[in-house]
Amino acid sequence: MNKNTKHFTMQGNAGLMEGLIDLPLDGKKPRGIALVAHPHPLYGGTMENKVTQTLARAFVALDYAVARINFRGVGQSEGEHDRGHGETDDMELLYRHMVEKFPDLPVALAGFSFGTYVQSQLAQRLAAAGTPVEGLVLVGAAAGKWQMADIAPNTILIHGENDDTIPVQAVFDWARPQDVPVLVIPGADHFFHRKLNHIKSWVIALWLGRAQEAQQRDDTEDA
C-alpha cells in the first residue's frame, strides 16, 4: 500500500464494510471518481485481487479518486455473500459515500469477473434513478454465469482469448445484441497472468479516446 492509498471502514447494510481509496499521484485534484469491484468472494476474490488493483491503478493514472471495498464476508467486511444483490446495495452505498466526499465529479464503474455483474446492475440502477455514470469498464465480464444487466454502447469490455472460466464466445453472444465491441487480449486467461499491463494500457487509451470523442461532439454541437 503506497502513501496515496488510504484504508477505511464504513457502515453497510450487513455490518462493517472495509475499503481502500487510491488518490491521484503528486497531489493532483481528482477529475473523477471510479468504483472498482472485485471477483467472486467465495472463490477467493478480494479488493486486492491483481486485476482489481490494475483497474484501480489505471484510473489513478487518469487522475481519478478510486474506491474499492471487500464484499461481504471478505477481510474485515461483515455479513454473508448475497449472490450479488446485497453486494450491489453495498456498492451503491460506496457510490453515495464517494459522491459526498468528492462532490460534482463524474463517476466511473469498473469490475472484474463477478464484479462486472455487480457493476452492470449498479449502472442500470443509477441510470434509472436519473444519475447515470460517466462510463463502465468490465474485464472478464460474467456473461452466461450471471444475469448481467444491459449496458451502454460505449462500455469498455476487455476479455481474455483463452478464458476458460467465462468463454469469450459467451461475452460475444451477450454483447452482440447490444452492439458493444469486445477487446480481446490474445493469449490471456481469466486472470490475465502476465497480461495485466495490457489491461492498464487499454483502459487508459480507450477511456481517453471516449473523452476525446465526447469533446469533439460538444465542439460540433457548439459550432
- Per-residue pLDDT at 2: 61
CATH code at 132? 3.40.50.1820
The answer on pLDDT for 124 being more than 90 is yes
- Per-residue pLDDT at 218: 66
15 neighbors 78 (Cβ within 8 angstroms): yes
CA 1 to chain centre: 20
Q: Sorting pLDDT into bands at 50, 70 and 90, what band is 59?
A: very high
Distance CA 107, CA 140 (A): 21
pLDDT digits (tens, 9 = 90+) for 139-177: 999 999 999 999 999 999 999 999 999 999 999 999 999
- Per-residue pLDDT at 108: 98
DSSP string, 35-93: EEE-S-GGGT--TT-HHHHHHHHHHHHTTEEEEEEPPTTSTT--S---TTHHHHHHHHH
The answer on pLDDT for 14 being more than 70 is yes
Strands 5-12, 15-22: pairing is antiparallel
The answer on pLDDT for 221 being more than 70 is no
Task: Tell me the residue range of the domain where 90 lies.
Answer: 5-222
- Per-residue pLDDT at 211: 74
pTM above 0.85, yes or no: yes
Between 203 and 219, name the one with better pLDDT. Answer: 203
The answer on pLDDT for 132 being more than 90 is yes
pLDDT digits (tens, 9 = 90+) for 88-116: 999 999 999 999 999 999 999 999 999 99
- List 146's β-bridge partners, or say none: 143
CA 148 to chain centre: 14
- Per-residue pLDDT at 128: 97
- Per-residue pLDDT at 219: 66
Q: How far is CA 66 from CA 90, 147, 152, 172, in A?
A: 16, 26, 21, 29
- Per-residue pLDDT at 98: 98
- Per-residue pLDDT at 223: 57
Percent of the chain's residues with pLDDT above 90: 91
Question: How much is the average pLDDT of 123-128?
Answer: 97
- Per-residue pLDDT at 213: 75
Q: Residue 61 is placed in which grid cell?
A: 493514472
Q: How many domains does the chain have?
A: 1
Q: How far is CA 14 from CA 7, 68, 221, in A?
A: 19, 17, 47
